[in-house]
Structure 1
Amino acid sequence: MLRPLMIALVFASGPAVAQSVVFGGIKADTSLPVEVAADHLTVDQGDGTALFTGNVVIGQGEMRLSAERVTVEYAQGDRTRIRSLHAKGNVTLVSGPDAAEGREAVYDVESGHVTLTGDVVLVQGENVLTGDRMTADLAEGTAQVDGRVRSILQPDNN
């Protein structure tokens, strides 16, 4: 994955607590269907969840989220509408030209917000940003990184 290379590249450190960034070259259409592929699926009708494990890849328009396991929570009383996705283990989120990774992620499908936690690395072209937590608004194409934020910003050579 990207983590070893990106962490090795991140050497600039600052006292910043949060930094806002643009995420995704284009805004993601959060009204599009959510497609899930995995090696295994377990459904619990009692609590309205589905657990996907093994090479999980979730797609919605241009956005892709992959992880070792993802729990899908359905809307109360509507088993056809996804409320949220909880991803764990080597989570990678790609939207347009941007990529982010962390240990865990929660995607609130209704609001279009994705929160990554645990050694988050965001790569935008040659720019790299790391922190403890990143919250991305896919509908707006923006993100905020919190925690010990570190970044490498490449100058524009044009």
Structure 2
Amino acid sequence: MIRRIAPLPIGLALALAAAAPAFAQTRHNSSAPIDFASDRIELQDRANRVLLTGNVKITQAEMTLTAARMTVAYTGQITNGSPQVSRLDASGGVTVARPDQTARSQYAVYDLNRRVITMVGGVTLRQGANNVSGGRLSIDLDTGRATIDGSGVRGGTTPGEPGVQNSGGRVTGRFSVPKREGQ
């Protein structure tokens, strides 16, 4: 179902444009090495994947991804002695952090071939005092565009509070307003 939304007032449209896409403003180096740490690792070589569990932390360039559990899928191709990682599937309190910005959800998929991170389940995107919550967040690491939609998630009772599963979802948030002269 596609919902039509009335045009936003110019001020609000500018605030939205400044806040949501800011998560990925600088181009991420998705070719940088991926460092990992976890409590346990299980190599499933025949399935071309690695299962990381317990306090998982993945770092690539200036981005950090943490979760309770993560599956790292790789191709059979070996380059410079290493398999080519193609996808990371994370679950359980997922956090993606870059300098000055943090996104949280229950699940996330980082598709390294497409250079896109998709987060679902009680998504919250924060930058400073600004925050936006919804059901699904898509971050295109090449273009710097971040998109949040309701995706069957109803916002919390407080603006910017993580949502709960429900149909007819909405995106909620709060943008800080700089203090103006005379106030």
Do they superpose with TM above 0.5?
yes
1:26-37 equivalences under 5 Å are 26-37=26-37
Q: State whether residues 58 and 64 of structure 1, in contact with CA within 8 Å, keep that contact through their aligned partners in structure 2.
A: yes
What is the CA deviation profile of residues 7-27 of structure 1, one whole-angstrom value per residue up to 9, with x for unaligned ones?
xxxxxxxx96xx772113532
1:1-158 equivalences under 5 Å are 21-22=20-21, 23-24=23-24, 26-78=26-78, 80-147=83-150, 148-157=170-179
Q: Percent sequence identity over matched residues?
A: 33
Q: Name structure 2 gaps, 5 residues minimum.
A: 6-15, 151-169
Relative to the length of structure 2, the TM-score reads 0.72
Q: State whether residues 88 and 103 of structure 1, in contact with CA within 8 Å, keep that contact through their aligned partners in structure 2.
A: yes
Letter of the structure 2 residue corresponding to residue 152 of structure 1? R
Q: CA RMSD in A?
A: 1.9
Per-residue deviation, 1:141: 2.2
Q: Which has the higher contact order (CA 8 A, sep 6+)?
A: 1
Letter of the structure 2 residue corresponding to residue 143 of structure 1? A
Letter of the structure 1 residue corresponding to residue 51 of structure 2? L
Q: Name structure 1 gaps, 5 residues minimum.
A: 1-14
Aligned length: 142
Q: After alignment, is 78-87 or 36-45 more displaced?
A: 78-87
What is the CA deviation profile of residues 128-154 of structure 1, one whole-angstrom value per residue up to 9, with x for unaligned ones?
100000000122222100112001011
Letter of the structure 1 residue corresponding to residue 171 of structure 2? V
More helix by share: 2
Relative to the length of structure 1, the TM-score reads 0.83
Q: State whether residues 119 and 130 of structure 1, in contact with CA within 8 Å, keep that contact through their aligned partners in structure 2.
A: yes
Q: Hey, which bits of structure 1, 4+ residues long, moved more than 2 A?
A: 24-27, 76-79
Letter of the structure 1 residue corresponding to residue 135 of structure 2? D
Letter of the structure 1 residue corresponding to residue 122 of structure 2? D
More strand by share: 1
Separation in 2, partners of 1:59, 1:28? 12
Match of 2:165 in 1: none
Separation in 2, partners of 1:42, 1:84? 16
Summarize the Cα distance change of 1:96–1:141 in structure 2 as closer, same or farther, 3 Å threshold.
farther
Q: State whether residues 26 and 96 of structure 1, in contact with CA within 8 Å, keep that contact through their aligned partners in structure 2.
A: no
